[in-house]
Chains A and B, each alone.
Chain A
């Protein structure tokens, strides 16, 4: 059963398994474990970006196709649904039309990119995707009558996905892990009080429904891609990554496989873009098309571990947590060392990008194969030691 769900591709490291189960539980019970809008938004973004990064990993990690147009496809999905809703009003048929338009546009553009430029060397393909992505972004900026330009578009989601809708009339209870843990450390003698304080009310409104749409989409897409990477098709992709020349000599038409991969990644990302628009309810070039976002996706993929699929889960989660909470952490640390010269200047919340960079350099230095790759190397070494020793 588990073998079929995970397509026989297990984490292959105990630490990684624990990490993945923890992430799964936190995401599955998200709104009931973390209170507050900010946590809620972060959880949703993690769900969406797991899909975005996993589909990027299919290209980069499994096939060695370097593309800088991933955010373009993400943006196509987001803008398609935003514009469909803008034109037709907030209804599910508008969303359906948006999804259809997103899939068609992403497929067409990816096919074009694939056929035009996959025959050339990898570096040229990367440059072509970069050029196309920038062209697309300036197009979105210029066509402000339909895209809202830099101001972007507000997405009015159907009532069933909005805060006013109640799936269940009465509130449910949540248990805040963060409150509980901080209470446990600051006043362990007061356990009863801490537990009572940790319980909070959860309104099961349309936003929560929307979150679970994202969660199940993320889970489904991830498992689907995991299966595809462990299918005969996925193995051919790895063969292309390892030695494209030899794959051709065996009879695999690698141009078809590479084009299929680019189209697959584009469509999946476009769908993730649709959910982003519906979850975030606001779309602009900065949050969907920006080059900085493209670099972040690349980083999540590399930090997590390329060509592992699970790397997308670990990478996206850690990266988004750091992006959203590093400032708070630094504020706390800054408070502790307040008044100490030099140090206090280094750890202020406004220095978060510096620490972010330091963390990234450290992770690449200590985990050259990414988190997942490194954890597996350690697990393998341990297994070997146990067998020989």
Chain B
């Protein structure tokens, strides 16, 4: 079975933007081998919470713990180094570099080659081959030499996922990985996520709007509403709970967060 201590934990995590609490005292712990979906209406604070965990935003109060270590004050690169991997909701690539180079940079970050200023990039075949494998996994092998900016939207989303896979993190944070993908592309990404889950030793966080995806993949669902954690538990019971029916699924008039 999985170990008892959580890999990742947020304690009373809070950020306020000029009085508005985008994330308000959210406490939650994540254990290895589990996939947790974070759901909630637009503006509920899901992405903001992600940003607080991976370090793009600084918390106003509360703390983030990774393997029991307080990382609340660490900048984003240090957190990535320690195993927090993030894929972004809005496509966030290196537009004028090739598709392969985008992934290679992620692999190279893990190998910590960045300060090597003498070796030619082409001499590290191992890193390039590695990058190529991740591209194949998301079925982008054929586009390796195109510029990232030239890819269609769905392929850019796949590249985003490949870059997260290439980081080989302990915590995978997917922010709507299938948004904007065509119907036949979605299963590829979902299968990749399921594959990570089968490895049993990683923490996976998934922000997703498609309820069928959430239901089929999740071990646990966390519901955010107006920056607060309002429900947390087994998928079936959370989806059935009245608070979710009201807060997330809502009636049409109340749907806007």
Cβ of B75 under 8 Å from chain A: yes
Q: Which positions 234-291 of chain A face chain B at CB distance < 8 Å?
A: 234-236, 238-239, 242-243, 245-254, 257
User: Is B167 within 8 A of A250, CB to CB?
Assistant: yes
Contact of A232 among B106, B108, B167 (CB under 8 A): B108
Q: Which positions 84-104 of chain B face chain A at CB distance < 8 Å?
A: 86, 88, 92-97, 101, 104
User: Is B56 within 8 A of A252, CB to CB?
Assistant: no
Question: Cα distance A250–B122 when bound, in Å?
Answer: 20
User: Is B118 within 8 A of A231, CB to CB?
Assistant: yes
Cβ of A188 under 8 Å from chain B: no
For A234, what are the chain B residues with a Cβ–Cβ distance below 8 Å? 117, 121
User: Is A233 within 8 A of B77, CB to CB?
Assistant: no
User: Is A249 within 8 A of B86, CB to CB?
Assistant: yes
User: Is A8 within 8 A of B117, CB to CB?
Assistant: no
Contacts A236-B105, A239-B97, A251-B81: A231 and B54 contacting too (C-beta < 8 A)? no
- Tell me the minimal C-beta distance from A267 to chain B in angstroms: 13
User: Is A252 within 8 A of B92, CB to CB?
Assistant: no
User: Is A232 within 8 A of B80, CB to CB?
Assistant: no
For B101, what are the chain A residues with a Cβ–Cβ distance below 8 Å? 235
User: Is B106 within 8 A of A253, CB to CB?
Assistant: no
For B110, what are the chain A residues with a Cβ–Cβ distance below 8 Å? 251
- Tell me the minimal C-beta distance from B133 to chain A in angstroms: 17
Instruction: Tell me the dominant secondary structure on chain A's binding face.
Output: helix
Bits for B63-87, please: 1 = Cβ < 8 Å to A, else 0.
Answer: 0000000000001111011000010
Residues of chain A at interface, number, CB under 8 A: 27
For B114, what are the chain A residues with a Cβ–Cβ distance below 8 Å? 232-233, 236, 252, 257
User: Is B94 within 8 A of A242, CB to CB?
Assistant: yes
Cβ of B196 under 8 Å from chain A: no
Cβ of B119 under 8 Å from chain A: yes
Bits for A1-32, please: 1 = Cβ < 8 Å to B, else 0.
Answer: 00010011000000000000000000000000
CB-nearest residue of chain A to B111: A232
For A251, what are the chain B residues with a Cβ–Cβ distance below 8 Å? 77-78, 80-81, 109-110, 167
Cβ of B163 under 8 Å from chain A: yes
Cβ of A346 under 8 Å from chain B: no
Cβ of A228 under 8 Å from chain B: yes
Question: Cα distance A331–B104 when bound, in Å?
Answer: 55
For A239, what are the chain B residues with a Cβ–Cβ distance below 8 Å? 94, 97, 105
User: Is A250 within 8 A of B120, CB to CB?
Assistant: no
For B104, what are the chain A residues with a Cβ–Cβ distance below 8 Å? 235
Cβ of B113 under 8 Å from chain A: yes
For A228, what are the chain B residues with a Cβ–Cβ distance below 8 Å? 117-118
User: Is A242 within 8 A of B96, CB to CB?
Assistant: yes
For B105, what are the chain A residues with a Cβ–Cβ distance below 8 Å? 235-236, 239, 247, 250
Question: Cα distance A231–B122 when bound, in Å?
Answer: 8
Of listed A228, A234, A235, residue having the most chain B CB within 10 A = A235
Contacts A248-B77, A252-B114: A232 and B119 contacting too (C-beta < 8 A)? yes
User: Is B96 within 8 A of A250, CB to CB?
Assistant: no
Q: Can you list 11 A-B contacts with CB-CB less than 8 angstroms, sorted by A residue number?
A: A7-B120, A228-B118, A230-B120, A231-B117, A231-B120, A239-B94, A245-B92, A248-B75, A250-B77, A250-B106, A251-B110
Residues of A within 8 A of B (CB): 4, 7-8, 227-228, 230-236, 238-239, 242-243, 245-254, 257
